[in-house]
Structure 1
Amino acid sequence: QVAACALADASYSYTSTLSKPKPRTLKQVVFSAETVNAELRDALAHTQALVAGIEVAKEWANRPANHATPSLLANAAKAIAKGPAFKCEVMGPKEVTKLGMGAFLAVARGAAEPLRFIVMRYSGAPAAQAPVVLVGKGITFDTGGISIKPAAEMDEMKYDMSGAASVLGVFKALGELKPAINVVGLIPATENMPDGQAVKPGDVVTSMSGQTIEILNTDAEGRLVLCDALTYAERFKPRAVIDIATLTGACVIALGGVRSGLFSSDDALAQALQLAGDASGDACWRMPLDEDYAEGLKSRYADVANVAGRQAGSVTAAKFLQRFASRYPWAHLDIAGTAWRSGAAKGATGRPVGLLLAYLLAQAGPAAAKAASNRRR
């Protein structure tokens, strides 16, 4: 698995917006072994599905924002969620307004591109089995809004939907492996733009949960779209909810590009994700969620502010999200440092598809994995 993934990563080539794309030079890989058994065949099938998922995540995170709008992201979800085990629903501004997603709508107000709320479902187990819900941040381009970002390297903000891209990648792999587990994918997708309708610093909005939020910084928009999606997740009565987001520069400072930041209100869920990260080579590191960190989020004008001070920025962002995820086991993966490489070799890494897929397959269990293997044959 390690060798196949390394070869796939080394030979990957982005081609979608090139007039003369260079084709992939690696055409075929042959592995030999003294004994070819079911375990090896299953390992190879797993790796093929994993690579397919990782490359879906890379593709969408690498695409320029004008080639990866919320509507195009929704079309990609529909294309992936085909087959009898899949369903995909796409909602627009009208439906999101009816749901009362005031925080999500606030972020989208300045964008000409209409928002999309994408709901993907994979049903590999009986309906009575509670699903795992994956929530992917889908900011298809982040200017920072009125709190506009510096021009340098702003082009890289096309990758601010890497959480959403990882959900698409996981569903691509699920379609190939067909494990006995139920999974829901939620993607709130929008651009964050600064026009005359854009939300302003100091504005107060009402989230789907009914909690009011003072938006002190419009560049802290990811948590605003996620909080409404986390509230929406309650309707699935999930066994666990994991949100995945390029959320904070503070997490890049803390952990660099080696490990994703893991925050969780549930020890068992955190341990399972940590083990999945270690097993897949897509590592994460658990960060604190002490209640003292929430002090900076207090507001005179709303139930909560969307930012605290500069200190422990990744933790205070997670504390904000935790307010909206109290009714189920919840974990948050901050992938700001791991989803993208900057510099001369800049581009998407496809993380944390490996971690998430390893976690889901472990939850499905050995019997389910064996059944999936038999279905593939």
Structure 2
Amino acid sequence: MNTALFDRISAVEADLSVVFVPSEGELPESTAWVDAKSSGQILQLRESEVFKGSVAQTLLLPSISEEFASAVLLVGIGKDALSDAKAKKVIAAVSSQIKGLPFAKVAVALSGLTIVDREAANVLTLAAQWLNEGFYEFIGFKQDDKEKVTKVETLLLEGSDESAMSIGVATAAGSAFTRQLGNLPGNVCTPSYLASKAQELGEDYGIDVELVDETKMDELGMHCMLSVGRGSDQPSYLIVMHYRGGAENEAPHVLLGKGITFDTGGISLKPGAKMDEMKYDMCGAASVFGTMKAICELKPALNFTAVIAAAENMPSGHATKPGDVVRTMSGKTVEVLNTDAEGRLVLCDALTYIERFEPQSVVDIATLTGACIVALGSVNSGMYSNSDVVAESLKSASKGAADKLWQMPLDEEYQQQLDSNFADIGNIGGPEAGSVTAACFLSRFTDAYPWAHLDIAGTAWTGGAAKGASGRPVGLLTQYLLSKVS
């Protein structure tokens, strides 16, 4: 689908025009123009309370006059400037309505869509992103999947800032890539499959791709990561992708994604209920893939390296056992007290491997702990950092992308919970502050660079009847990297 801009609703030709209607007061400029063309139908409908203009209320008018050939979709925005949450609800209503209609060319008049504390360019970015994200549907294994594709071929947005629109469109493309990977079943999306998707990105965008296989990991001493995949028939991979848009000698910013393509818990087997959702344990990796796609589309002048620690955690006669001690690439030893705390085991070796890039910053993204869901639910991702600069930069990106995070503590006193009688460190710290101690574990491998950890266990997917990957935090990560362009 093509997305482009237009200046005035009066000068655009479309099969469907979308206008926003407040519940009281004057109509926005574009809406007022359409109302005039319809001999005041919009105001009449509002006054008669057929269409009240409440937040996300919609009404389709197939025809308003002989002069205006376009059908019109009215969308309510309430009486006040919208919060991020309400604005997203409004845009979701637009996408939901138009993707099922037989219109190829749709124009959305953004005048009137005001979001609290956001400038027009930022509103355009978010509108472009959320509208395009709203068209996503998982295409995979149902016989009628091919019939789900929207009829919309061209989406026109009111505005003049091409760059702002492009960021939104690219972010949506990255989000769709992330969601598609996340929604794939574990028998399809294996570590080898992720490696193949990296190679495809390399071919499509000309980025450099390196695959570190198990033989090379063994040579490098990455025995902690190897211990996780030992019980699986699927080989593990450390996947490295280099986007080089900056100066040749400029150190990269690195994103590291946890890519456990299915997590049974290993010998510390998970309960059967909802275990199918453990295909989403690679959503950290998926979000890094999606961010790489967005950055490749936008072509900013920076150097960015994406690293994926990909493995499958299965029980078998070869699997790592609780109480086993393994050596990390850093030389530290780990007592594996619970094989279901495997994400930190693959990430710690990857964090050491990343030192060779002498990075400006490192952010790892992982569906790491159920404890983070207990703490923050599905609204905020948890953020931990050893650098105030990185933490503040992520907070700013979170605000700009309307992709929430909350900084959690990383106090030294929590580290003692990881003490082990038999190794340098235990891989769990007990029931208290589980998300914090997981971050503390990772922090022991990040002395060489500024680092942050995002625990997205509560935000990466939705369960229940609406089960599916969310695409978060691609928006946040894309904004973070764009902020690094000098």
TM (normalized to structure 1)?
0.93
Are 1:10 and 2:131 counterparts? no
8 A contact 2:205–2:296 mirrored in 1: no
1: CA distance, partners of 2:445 / 2:393: 22
Equivalent in the alignment of 2:472: 351
1: CA distance, partners of 2:372 / 2:241: 28
CA-to-aligned-CA distance 1:329-359 (integer Å, 9 cap, x gap): 0000000001010111010001111000000
Instruction: Give secondary structure in 2 for the equivalent of 1:136.
Output: strand
8 A contact 2:133–2:175 mirrored in 1: no
2: CA distance, partners of 1:5 / 1:83: 22
Which residue identity does 1:202 align to in structure 2?
Answer: G
2: CA distance, partners of 1:295 / 1:174: 40
Deviation at 1:85, TM superposition (A): 5.1
Deviation at 1:274, TM superposition (A): 0.6
Equivalent in the alignment of 1:192: 313
Are 1:232 and 2:356 counterparts? no
1: CA distance, partners of 2:157 / 2:298: 23
Which one of 417, 424, 435 corresponds to residue 296 of structure 1?
417
Identity %: 52
Structure-to-structure mapping, 1:35-184, within 5 angstroms? 37=160, 40-82=161-203, 86-184=207-305
Equivalent in the alignment of 1:24: 149
Quick check: which one's helix share is greater?
1
2: CA distance, partners of 1:133 / 1:335: 17
CA-to-aligned-CA distance 1:92-135 (integer Å, 9 cap, x gap): 11111111101000001000011111011000011211100111
1: CA distance, partners of 2:343 / 2:141: 27
Are 1:245 and 2:366 counterparts? yes
Which one of 379, 382, 386 corresponds to residue 265 of structure 1?
386
Q: Residues 26 and 317 from structure 1, CA distance in 2 versus in 1: closer, same or farther, beyond 3 angstroms? A: farther
CA-to-aligned-CA distance 1:271-297 (integer Å, 9 cap, x gap): 000110111011111000001111110
Equivalent in the alignment of 1:370: none
2: CA distance, partners of 1:130 / 1:214: 34
2: CA distance, partners of 1:84 / 1:73: 16
Which residue identity does 1:24 align to in structure 2?
Answer: V
More off after superposition, 299-308 vs 16-25: 16-25
Q: Residues 196 and 166 from structure 1, CA distance in 2 versus in 1: closer, same or farther, beyond 3 angstroms? A: same
CA-to-aligned-CA distance 1:56-114 (integer Å, 9 cap, x gap): 10000100001101111110111112367510011211111111101000001000011
Equivalent in the alignment of 2:72: none
1: CA distance, partners of 2:330 / 2:151: 50
8 A contact 1:259–1:285 mirrored in 2: yes
Instruction: Give secondary structure in 1 for the equivalent of 2:203.
Output: coil
2: CA distance, partners of 1:188 / 1:99: 14
Which residue identity does 1:162 align to in structure 2?
Answer: C
Deviation at 1:42, TM superposition (A): 1.1
1: CA distance, partners of 2:452 / 2:384: 6
1: CA distance, partners of 2:298 / 2:157: 23
8 A contact 2:264–2:313 mirrored in 1: yes
2: CA distance, partners of 1:357 / 1:301: 42
Q: Residues 43 and 198 from structure 1, CA distance in 2 versus in 1: closer, same or farther, beyond 3 angstroms? A: same
CA-to-aligned-CA distance 1:169-211 (integer Å, 9 cap, x gap): 0111111100011011111111000000000000000000000
1: CA distance, partners of 2:155 / 2:258: 37
CA-to-aligned-CA distance 1:142-184 (integer Å, 9 cap, x gap): 0000000000000000000001101110111111100011011
Report the aligned-residue RMSD: 1.2
CA-to-aligned-CA distance 1:6-40 (integer Å, 9 cap, x gap): 2233322101222320422252453353xx53xx1
8 A contact 2:369–2:434 mirrored in 1: yes
TM (normalized to structure 2)?
0.73
8 A contact 2:127–2:168 mirrored in 1: no
Which residue identity does 1:290 align to in structure 2?
Answer: D
Equivalent in the alignment of 1:371: none
Matched residue count: 361
8 A contact 2:258–2:309 mirrored in 1: yes
8 A contact 1:85–1:123 mirrored in 2: no
Q: Residues 6 and 327 from structure 1, CA distance in 2 versus in 1: closer, same or farther, beyond 3 angstroms? A: same
Higher relative contact order (CA 8 A, sep 6+): 1
- Structure 2 residue ranges without an equivalent (≥5): 1-124
Q: Residues 258 and 75 from structure 1, CA distance in 2 versus in 1: closer, same or farther, beyond 3 angstroms? A: same
